[in-house]
Structure 1
């Protein structure tokens, strides 16, 4: 009897396919279902282009609940030049879903692709983030969301955008033909993760400032987007997370915002850790910093956003 010979090369494609299917199954099990839709379905103000980067979207993940839930707009970082969609986008949509909260990742316009390669600076990102909050609030019944429990979370430059919409609000216009504009953009809570908050300061992340405002911004505009100076009594309850070893966006950004919240009697909680570089996301592999998600969940529970 001749021995049966197996070819490794013949088996390899099948093995790779099986591995890919297994990985896909794991990912699909971890990532809840979502829907993607344009943020401005009737046209973006001042934009007629429809190429990559021109059409901001909402990636909506609905919680499974018989009663209305809290919701959050997710603003991934990327220096106002890109979107860190994995560890600062989809992973957080899954995290909020596990807590019974709905979410919407907002792919806001930025200084990347789009606008025939020119990209978008201020006020486009702010307009998109404000619109995202308003959209969830205006469609609260449809999405099974409590319109009074809608917050925002941002990371790095997305954290700056998060702080911007937490200090600059699009007021409700009851007479607007657009139902989204009939509600306010003020978030009910704000979560700032290793956020770029100060502009025009020695500890500013220069790349984010340049992408947002250009090389020589108007001093008044620059000052208006230095968000620790924009905190007021109307700023929503705020949670901050940062690390001392973040050399890209120094911890001074969070310290100043925290101080401003205290001075204006804004409910605020801040957690600082020594270890961990910039861009940690959920910080699963960093001892110390990996406590921040559970601390944040406890904070959200105290706010009434998450069930105990």
Structure 2
């Protein structure tokens, strides 16, 4: 699989067969929004997304600071819902691999559970892993106990999506 430069369309023009997005925390929110963007032309469509300890809901009060940073102090219910990944899932959504830790003090695992429930309800292929231990900002999670296997699990899952 080749990586795509700048946009999915650019990646396909460069010969990429599949386009995937990966993001963590607030970047996971942005990757999820891009993956769930309605009406993307086929050459810009995302084939799968991998999200780590992502902020997925703007409707919950958990980790309110991120919502304020991303949407502003006065974001109304309509804006909050329209930027919550769990409300954007449809049966046409691409597959998702989502992982989190139960101990994350900044973005509670509730965010992953909400997205997983929406993916299941929409019958969207997905894998969800919530590891018991680990702080926020693990990234590749090298030497981070059980959470360190997320990259191996994701690699296997991505190959299964082909």
- On whether the aligned pair clears a TM of 0.5, the verdict is yes
Confirm or deny that 1:275 pairs with 2:133.
yes
Report the CA distance between 1:208 and its aligned residue.
2.1
SS in structure 2 of the partner of residue 232 of structure 1 = coil
Confirm or deny that 1:215 pairs with 2:73.
yes
Choose between structure 1 and 2 for higher RCO, CA contacts under 8 A separated by at least 6 residues. 2
Higher CA-based Rg: 1
Report what 1:193 is aligned to: 52
**Contact kept? 1:170, 1:185, Cα under 8 Å:** no
Cα deviations across residues 130-165 of structure 1 (Å, max 9, x unaligned)? Answer: xx233323xx2xx3312xx11111110011111111
Moved over 4 A (4+): none
**Contact kept? 1:156, 1:279, Cα under 8 Å:** yes
Report what 2:3 is aligned to: 102
Confirm or deny that 1:161 pairs with 2:30.
yes
CA distance in 2, matches of 1:276, 1:155: 14
CA distance in 2, matches of 1:237, 1:258: 11
- Unpaired runs of at least 5, structure 1: 1-68, 70-100, 107-131, 173-182
Match of 2:15 among 144, 148, 171: 144
Count of residue pairs the alignment pairs up? 162
What TM-score, normalized to structure 1? 0.50
**Contact kept? 1:193, 1:240, Cα under 8 Å:** yes
**Contact kept? 1:199, 1:223, Cα under 8 Å:** yes
Equivalent residue runs for 1:107-118 within 5 Å: none
Match of 2:160 among 302, 305, 308: 302
- Unpaired runs of at least 5, structure 2: none
CA distance in 2, matches of 1:197, 1:209: 10
What TM-score, normalized to structure 2? 0.92
Question: Residue 171 and residue 144 in structure 1: after superposition, are their counterparts in 2 closer, same or farther (change >3 A)?
Answer: closer
SS in structure 2 of the partner of residue 153 of structure 1 = strand
**Contact kept? 2:3, 2:11, Cα under 8 Å:** no
**Contact kept? 1:169, 1:184, Cα under 8 Å:** no
